[in-house]
Each structure stands twice: as C-alpha cells, then as structure tokens.
C-alpha cells in the first residue's frame, strides 16, 4: 500500500515538472526565468509551468504547447506561464498566462476547443477568457 | 503656493504609478479566416470581442481596428508565431512497407514543409488494413512507421526527435470487417509539432 502511495506521489511529481511546451522560434535576446535563475533561451528548449519568458529590445520568441496552442511575444516583453495542465486523452486542462508588459500573440489549441475559457490570459488590469483562435495583446 | 505644490505632487504620483495602456484585438485565423472570441474583464466591465479586429483598449467600448494598423503594430510578434502543428498521411501498397505511387509523389511537398521547422517534434504512427493476421499487422504497421522515419532522418531530421508506433489494424479510418482490402487504412500518419 505504502508503495502504491509513493508511486502515485512520484507520478504527480513527474507530472508537475512535465514539459508544457517548447520554444520553437527565438531571435535576439530571449531568456527563460526558472526558479530564480535566468537561462538564455534557444530553439528546442522545453518550457514548464511557472517559467517566465523575457525578451530584450531586439528579442522575439514563439512557443508551441503540448495542446497545440501557439504563443509568441515581441520585443521588451515579459510573459509568465502561471499554470499549464493538459490531459492528452480527454483534452481537458487549464492554461493561465500573464503578460506583464510587451506584446503577445495567441492561437489557442485543443484545450480551448474542448472547453471554452480553459485558457485565460491576464494583463496588469484585465483578465481574458479565451473562447477560440487568434488574438493579440499589448501592454505598454 | 502650497496648493500648486500639492497639484504637482499629485501629477508626479500619477505619472509614476500610471497604469499601463492595455489593448486586446481578435484576429481572423491566418489559416481559415475563422474568428473566435475573447471575453475581456476589467473591474466590473466585461467586453466580448467576437468580430475580426474587434478591439478594447483599457476596457473601453469595443471598436473595429484597421487591419493594416494591427498587422503593423504586431508584425514582429506575429512573425515569431511557430508553424501550426500538422498531420501528413502516406499510403502503402498492400502487405508491404512500400509507398503507393501517389504517396511517393507527395514526399517532396512534405519534406519541403518539414524543412521550414527548425526543431520539429515528430510522431510517426503506422497502420494496416484488416487483411492478414492481427499480430502480423502489428509488425507491418511498425515496419511502415520505421520506413517513414528513415525517410525523415534522410532529410536531416534528428532521429531522437522522431517517435514511432505501430497500431496494427486497430485504428481504421474506414471501418471494415476482418480481411478487407482497404487502401485508405494502409497508412502512416506523420504528426509534426
């Protein structure tokens, strides 16, 4: 019994650190902030829940998430992936992102198709419920 | 004099603490023109953006922006969007891992599309029709997937970025009885992200 509990807990731990997406485009200065560290971001790098994507004055970057959501940021942007959970079998999930500043483009994925507003994007003063497809956001 | 100083101080505080300007614009899908919807909530105000280029700025009433203006303001951002995930399907000669002539003809187009992606994640899934023994079809479907993986490695995609699986005759596109020759079921799906 104890082993089962341990195995289940281990499973959860693995799921928590699972890859949410991957950086697919990166130009100029792009960083990922993870656990207080600032990592130079490059194409192919995994993105996890709680990561913050930061671009400099010449930076742009795009991420493909495991539910096929696509997000990109323009120069001078700060985007935090606050929460990302996706069940590849049921397509249920939750996606919370927060644009602190800069520009963001979003094409929503399978999660939103399965359940509208499973994806939410925050800005300093607003919250957006995403019912589908494509939109852009600017905070300046 | 004191009043003037107070006004100046207030102006300074406002300038420092001024909330950022925020705008949200819904775009038509670049692929099929479909327009979705975004619900923007700011304090007790709620705006529904459900038309192409519908925009709210700081929670104000919805207006329709000029497309050229939006495309220009977000050019660098939109340019950075990754390619949309996609699926290609190839078909096979019965009982073999050899592509049909038509699918052979499709390969250059598929390869060209794959080369646009700097670091593709690829899942290659093989299938068979229901002719032949169940277990043998498991093997054949896996062999078909491996053959296609070989093509992809051949055009320079790293082998470790390609996963393969054989699903045998379990996932028919055209549902058939057992031992039915069905060309559409003899296939490999290439899922690219």
pLDDT of residue A18: 77
User: Alpha-carbon distance B14 to A115, whole Å?
Assistant: 41
- Chain A residue closest in CA terms to B119: A44
pTM: 0.83
User: Is B70's Cβ below 8 Å from some Cβ in A?
Assistant: yes
What's the ipTM?
Answer: 0.87
Residues B72 and B119 in one domain: no
Residues B100 and B128 both lie in one domain: yes
Chain A residues whose beta carbon lies within 8 Å of the beta carbon of residue B83: 24
As a whole number, mean pLDDT of residues B93-107 equals 97
Q: Which of A68, A101, A130 sits opposite B85 (nearest CB)?
A: A68
DSSP string of B41-83?
Answer: EETTEEEEE-STTEEEETTPPPEEPPHHHHHHHTHHHHHTPPP
Cβ-nearest to B119 among A44, A60, A133: A44
Tell me, what CATH number does A23's domain have?
2.60.120
Q: State whether B67 and B107 are in the same domain.
A: no
For chain B, percent helix, then strand, then coil, each to nearest 5? 35, 25, 40
Rounded to whole angstroms, the Cα distance separating B133 from B150 reads 25
Residue B6 included in any domain: no
CA distance A127 to chain B (A): 5
CB of A66 closer than 8 Å to CB of A94: no
Question: What's the pLDDT tens digit per position in A66-108?
Answer: 999 999 999 999 999 999 999 989 999 999 999 999 999 999 9
Closest-CA residue to A114 (of A70, A68, A72): A68
Q: What distance in Å separates the CA atoms of residue A50 and residue A35, rounded to the nearest whole number?
A: 8
pLDDT beyond 90 at B192: yes
Q: Which of B23, B76, B116, B158 to mutate to test the interface with A (most CBs of A within 10 A)?
A: B76
Domain hosting B45: range is: 21-79
Calculate what percentage of chain B has a pLDDT beyond 70. Answer: 95
**B70 & B125 share domain:** no
Domain with A118 in it: 2-139
Residue B129 and residue B99 share a domain: yes
**Residues B91-100, mean pLDDT to the nearest whole number:** 97
SS3 A126: coil
Measured between CA atoms, the residue of chain A closest to residue B18 is A140
**B43, closest residue in chain A (CA to CA):** A126
Residue B74 belongs to some domain of the structure = yes
Domain termination residue (choose one: B54, B79, B104): B79
Whether the Cβ atoms of residue B53 and residue A138 lie closer than 8 Å to each other: no
**Looking at beta carbons, which residues of chain A come within 8 Å of B35?**
133
SS3 state of residue B134:
helix
Structural domain count of chain A: 1
Residues B184, B173: contact at Cβ < 8 Å?
yes
- The C-alpha atoms of residue B160 and residue B153 are separated, in whole angstroms, by 10
Minimal CA separation from B102 to chain A, in Å: 29
Say whether A128 and B119 touch across the interface (CB within 8 A). Answer: no
Better-scored residue on pLDDT, A11 or B185? B185
**What is the rounded end-to-end Cα distance, in angstroms, of chain A?**
54
Residues of A in contact with B53 (CB under 8 A): none
Residue A21 neighbours by CB distance under 10 Å: 28
Domain boundary among B32, B54, B79: B79
Looking at residue A16, its pLDDT comes to 47
Which residues of chain A from 56 to 95 reach within 8 Å of chain B, CB to CB? 60-64, 68, 70-75
- Taking the C-alpha atoms of residue A48 and residue A34, their distance in angstroms, rounded to an integer, is 9
When divided into structural domains, chain B yields a total of: 2
A43–chain B Cβ distance below 8 A for any pair: yes
Across A10-19, A45-54, A130-139, B178-187, least confident range: A10-19
Is residue A83 classed as helix, strand or coil in its secondary structure? Answer: strand
Q: Does A134 touch chain B (CB under 8 A)?
A: yes
| C-alpha torsion sign, points B88, B94, B99, B104 | negative
Q: Is B3 on the interface with A (CB under 8 A)?
A: no
Residue-wise pLDDT for B13-62, tens only, equals 666 667 789 999 999 998 889 999 999 999 999 999 999 999 999 999 99
Do residues B125 and B54 both lie within one domain?
A: no
- At residue A138, the pLDDT reads 97
Residue B75 sits in the same domain as residue B147: no
DSSP, residue by residue, A46-60: EE-TT-EEEE-TT-E
What confidence tens digit (pLDDT) does each residue in A2-46 have?
A: 555 555 544 444 444 579 999 999 999 999 999 999 999 999 999
Residue B15 is predicted with a pLDDT of 63
Region of B183 (left: φ > 0; alpha: ψ -120 to 50; beta: rest) is: alpha
CA distance B17 to A135: 28
Q: Say whether pLDDT at B149 is over 50.
A: yes
Which residues lie closer than 8 Å to A33 by C-beta, 6 or more apart?
A: A39, A51, A52, A54
Where helices occur in chain A by DSSP H, the ranges are: 2-16, 110-114
Q: How many CB pairs under 8 A join A and B?
A: 145
């Amino acid at each position: 019994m104890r082993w089962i509990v341990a195995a289940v807990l281990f499973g959860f731990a693995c799921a928590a650190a699972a890859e949410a997406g991957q950086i697919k485009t990166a130009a100029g200065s792009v960083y990922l902030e993870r656990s207080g560290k600032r990592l130079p971001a490059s194409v192919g790098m995994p993105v996890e829940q709680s990561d913050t994507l930061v671009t400099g004055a010449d930076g742009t970057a795009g991420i493909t998430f495991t539910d096929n959501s696509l997000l990109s940021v323009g120069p001078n942007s700060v985007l935090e992936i606050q929460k990302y959970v996706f069940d590849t079998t049921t397509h249920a999930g939750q996606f919370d992102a927060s644009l602190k500043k800069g520009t963001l483009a979003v094409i929503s994925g399978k999660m939103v198709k399965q359940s509208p507003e499973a994806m939410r994007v925050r800005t300093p003063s607003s919250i957006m419920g995403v019912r589908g497809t494509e939109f852009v956001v600017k905070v300046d | 004099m004191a009043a003037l100083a107070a006004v100046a101080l207030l102006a300074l505080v406002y300038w420092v603490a001024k909330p950022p300007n925020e705008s949200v614009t819904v775009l038509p899908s670049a692929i099929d023109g479909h327009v979705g919807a975004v619900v923007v909530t700011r304090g007790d105000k709620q705006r529904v953006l459900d038309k192409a280029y519908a925009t709210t700025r700081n929670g104000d009433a919805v207006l329709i922006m000029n497309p050229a203006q939006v495309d220009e303001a977000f050019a660098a951002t939109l340019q950075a969007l990754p390619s949309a995930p996609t699926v290609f399907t190839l078909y096979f000669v019965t009982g073999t891992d050899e592509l049909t002539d038509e699918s052979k003809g499709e390969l250059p187009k598929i390869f060209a599309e794959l080369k646009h992606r700097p670091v593709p994640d690829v899942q290659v899934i093989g299938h068979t029709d229901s002719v032949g023994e169940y277990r043998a079809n498991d093997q054949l479907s896996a062999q078909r997937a491996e053959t296609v993986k070989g093509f992809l490695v051949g055009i320079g995609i790293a082998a470790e970025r390609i996963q393969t699986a054989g699903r045998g005759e379990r996932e028919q596109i055209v549902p058939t009885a057992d031992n039915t020759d069905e060309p559409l079921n003899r296939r490999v799906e290439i899922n690219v992200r």
